[in-house]
Amino acid sequence: MKIVMATGTFDLLHPGHGLYLQKSKELGGKDAKLIVVVARDSTVRRKKRIPIVEESQRLEMIKMLKPVDEAYLGHPTDIFKIVRELKPDIISIGSDQSYEIDQLKKDLKNQGIDCEVKRVSNYRRAKLDSTCKIIKKIRHSDFSEESLKDC
């Protein structure tokens, strides 16, 4: 059985999140186990924005999703700590996540972590397929396609 690790903020859950997790699990084959690491509030603030939903609630929601076998909060300062602890065979990167696959592989190797890194692609299927788009729609009450293009 292969262990696949998916990571993310998972703020304001939407279909893109569910599809990312489903596709991530499929990377490991028929009997794969999907472990999800939810970013800490401090990490989200540092890398993106102020989270709307706090970390314990985001974790609770992720644990409820069908493809997810286990879910954990990430480490606040060492992103590789939980990877070393859980020892995944594959780390799944979403198509909208900014990780450079080759650089991440080098970083993992430097940390003594031996696992594959694969990008899930083409999993977005909804008009409001990102937290950014949902926030923008709420903020501006603008329902036009044009207003959502830069998210």
**Domain residue limits at 114:** 3-125
**Rounded to whole angstroms, how far apart are CA atoms 39 and 108?**
18
Radius of gyration of the chain (CA): 15
Q: Does 136 fall in a domain? A: no
Query: What are the residues facing 8 on neighbouring strands?
Result: 38
List per-block mean pLDDT (blocks of 10 residues) for the chain, which spans 151 residues: 95 87 95 96 83 93 97 93 95 81 89 91 70 79 62 54
Residue 145, pLDDT score? 64
pTM: 0.84
Residue 96, pLDDT score? 72
Q: Does 89 fall in a domain? A: yes
| CATH label of the domain that carries residue 94 | 3.40.50.620
Residue 117, pLDDT score? 93
State whether residue 120 is helix, strand or coil: coil
State whether residue 71 is helix, strand or coil: strand
**Rounded to whole angstroms, how far apart are CA atoms 42 and 51?**
9
Residue 84, pLDDT score? 94
Q: Does 148 fall in a domain? A: no
- Helical segments of the chain, H only: 15-26, 41-47, 55-63, 81-86, 101-110, 131-140
> Are 120 and 28 within 8 A, CB to CB?
no
Q: Does 34 fall in a domain? A: yes
Instruction: Please give the tally of structural domains in the chain.
Output: 1
Residue 75, pLDDT score? 92
Q: Does 80 fall in a domain? A: yes
Query: Tokens 């059985």 map to which residue?
Result: 1
Closest CA to 83 of 8, 5, 31: 5
Amino acid type, 148: L
Residue 14, pLDDT score? 85
